[in-house]
Structure 1
Amino acid sequence: MKNLICLACFLITLVSFSQKDFILTIGDESHEIALDESNEFKVNGKAITISVREKDTLVYEDSFYNFKYIKDYSISKTVLEEGIEQIMIMTASGSGVLIQKYEAFDPTMLQEMMLNEVTKESISYGYTMERQDYERALVSGQKLEILKSVLEYKGEIETYEITALGGKDEGILIMTMNMNDEIDPEGVEMINLMWNSLHIK
C-alpha cells in the first residue's frame, strides 16, 4: 500500500510540472508513459493500471501572486527591464490577461495611463467608450478598484479592465482584454477564471 501511495504522489508531481511524455520508474525499471494512455505494471506482484492525465486548469505560481488558467493556453513570460516582469496569456482572437510585476516601483499610478494607451487607437478609429469602473474582492481578501472601458463600433465590442495593487516600491498591474464575447467565448472563460482564482500573497 505504501508503494502505491508513493507511486500516486510521484505521478501527481509529474503532471504538475510537465506537459511532455513521462518516464515512470518503479524500483529499477523505467517505463515511458504518455498522457491519457493506460499502462499496466506489476507492483509487489500485483498488476495495476496506471494512466496520467493533465488537469483542465493549471496554476501559475509567482512569489507575489498565483491564479488558475486553462491548460490549452500557454503563458509567455518576459522581463521588460530590470525589476519589471510581464506575463501574458492570450487566445487567438486577442483576448486574454496581462500581468506586470514591479520589484522597485509602485504601479498604482500607471492605471489610468495604461487604460488610455490601450484604448486611444480604437477611439481614434471611431469607437465610442463607456466607463464602467467597479470594485472586486479577491479570494485572498484584497479589494481592487477596477478601471473598465467598454468600446463599441458598429456592433463590435472591446472591453478592457485595468487594476493595480502596490506597496512601498513594489506591486502588480493587471490588465484584461476581451475582444468580443460572441466570437471569443474562450477569452471570457479565461478572464473570469483568472479573476475568480487570483490570489495575491
Structure 2
Amino acid sequence: MIRTILTSLAFFISSVIFAQNQGNYIIIINNDSIRVDINNDFSYKTTSGEELTISIIQPDILTYSDDMISFSHDKSLSVSNSKIEQGIEQCMIVKSTGNGFMVQKYQTMNPSSLTQLMLNELTKESINYGYSKSEKKFKKKLKSGQIIEGIQATLKYKGEKEVYTVATYGAKDEGIIVITMLLNEDFKEDQEIIKLFLETLSIND
C-alpha cells in the first residue's frame, strides 16, 4: 500500500494543475431555463412585463468542502481529486511553478506514522541532486481546533531553496496527511495560496 501511495504522490507532484475555465450555467426562473456565464449580466422579463437585470458573480475566494475536510482557495485555481486506493483519497492544488499543497485522506488507518516516509519521498530527488537538508518540527492548530504535527524541511543548493512541510492528524483508523511545497519563492502569490490554505483548513468531525 505504501508503494501505491508514494507512486501516486510522485505522479501528482509532477502534474500541472490549470485554472478552472468559466463554463456555462443554467439558471431557472419560474420554470424558464436560461443559459448564462459567470460575471455576465443578462436580462429577464417577468410575466408582468418588468425587465430585470441579473448577474451571477463568483467570489474571489472559494471554499472546497467534502465529508472530511474543508479549506479556502483562490477562484483562479481548481481542486484536483483522486482516489489512490480503497479508503485513501487525495485532493490538491499545485501550480505550474511546483508550489502548492495536497491533503491525503485516510478512512481505514491512522497515517501519523507516515510523516518521515512522505517527507523522504518528496525530497529524495533534490537530495540526490546535491541539495542540503535541514529539518524542524512543525505544529499548527487548525481552524476547526485540531492540531496537525509533523516536519518542515528546508533544502538549499547554490542560492536556491525549497521548503516542504508534512504534517498529520490521526484518530482511530482515520486521519489526514497535509503536505505543502514551496519550490520557488519568487512567486509571492504562491506563498499566499499556501498561507490561505493552512489558515482555513478544517477537519469535519
Given candidates 84, 89, 106, the residue that maps to 2:88 is 84
Given candidates 37, 48, 57, the residue that maps to 1:34 is 37
Establish whether residue 111 from structure 1 lines up as the match of residue 132 from structure 2. Answer: no
Same amino acid, percent of matched pairs: 38
Deviation at 1:80, TM superposition (A): 1.1
User: For residue 168 of structure 1, what is the aligned residue in structure 2?
Assistant: 172
Q: For residues 132 and 92 of structure 2, what CA distance do their matches in structure 1 show? A: 27
Deviation at 1:45, TM superposition (A): 4.1
Given candidates 48, 51, 75, the residue that maps to 1:47 is 51
- In 2, are the aligned partners of 1:164 and 1:172 still within 8 Å (CA)? yes
Deviation at 1:48, TM superposition (A): 2.3
Deviation at 1:106, TM superposition (A): 0.6
In the TM superposition, what whole-angstrom CA distance separates every residue of 1:75-130 from its partner, at most 9, and x where no partner exists? 22111111111112111111111111111111000001111121122112111112
User: For residue 189 of structure 1, what is the aligned residue in structure 2?
Assistant: 192
Q: For residues 140 and 53 of structure 2, what CA distance do their matches in structure 1 show? A: 45
- In 2, are the aligned partners of 1:91 and 1:186 still within 8 Å (CA)? no
User: For residue 23 of structure 1, what is the aligned residue in structure 2?
Assistant: 26
Greater than 6 Å deviation, 4+ residue runs: none
Q: For residues 126 and 190 of structure 1, what CA distance do their matches in structure 2 show? A: 28
Deviation at 1:61, TM superposition (A): 1.0
| Consecutive unaligned residues in structure 2, runs of 5 or more | 1-20
- In 2, are the aligned partners of 1:42 and 1:48 still within 8 Å (CA)? yes
Q: For residues 31 and 178 of structure 2, what CA distance do their matches in structure 1 show? A: 48
- In 1, are the aligned partners of 2:138 and 2:167 still within 8 Å (CA)? no
- In 2, are the aligned partners of 1:57 and 1:70 still within 8 Å (CA)? yes
User: For residue 122 of structure 1, what is the aligned residue in structure 2?
Assistant: 126
RMSD over aligned CA atoms reads 1.7
Length-normalised TM-score, structure 1: 0.84
Establish whether residue 154 from structure 1 lines up as the match of residue 154 from structure 2. Answer: no
Given candidates 70, 73, 77, the residue that maps to 1:69 is 73
Q: For residues 29 and 109 of structure 1, what CA distance do their matches in structure 2 show? A: 55
Q: Greater shift after overlay, 24-33 or 63-72?
A: 24-33
Higher Rg of the two aligned structures: 1
- In 2, are the aligned partners of 1:130 and 1:149 still within 8 Å (CA)? yes
SS at match of 2:180: strand
| Consecutive unaligned residues in structure 1, runs of 5 or more | 1-17
User: For residue 6 of structure 1, what is the aligned residue in structure 2?
Assistant: none
Deviation at 1:25, TM superposition (A): 2.3
Q: For residues 201 and 141 of structure 2, what CA distance do their matches in structure 1 show? A: 10
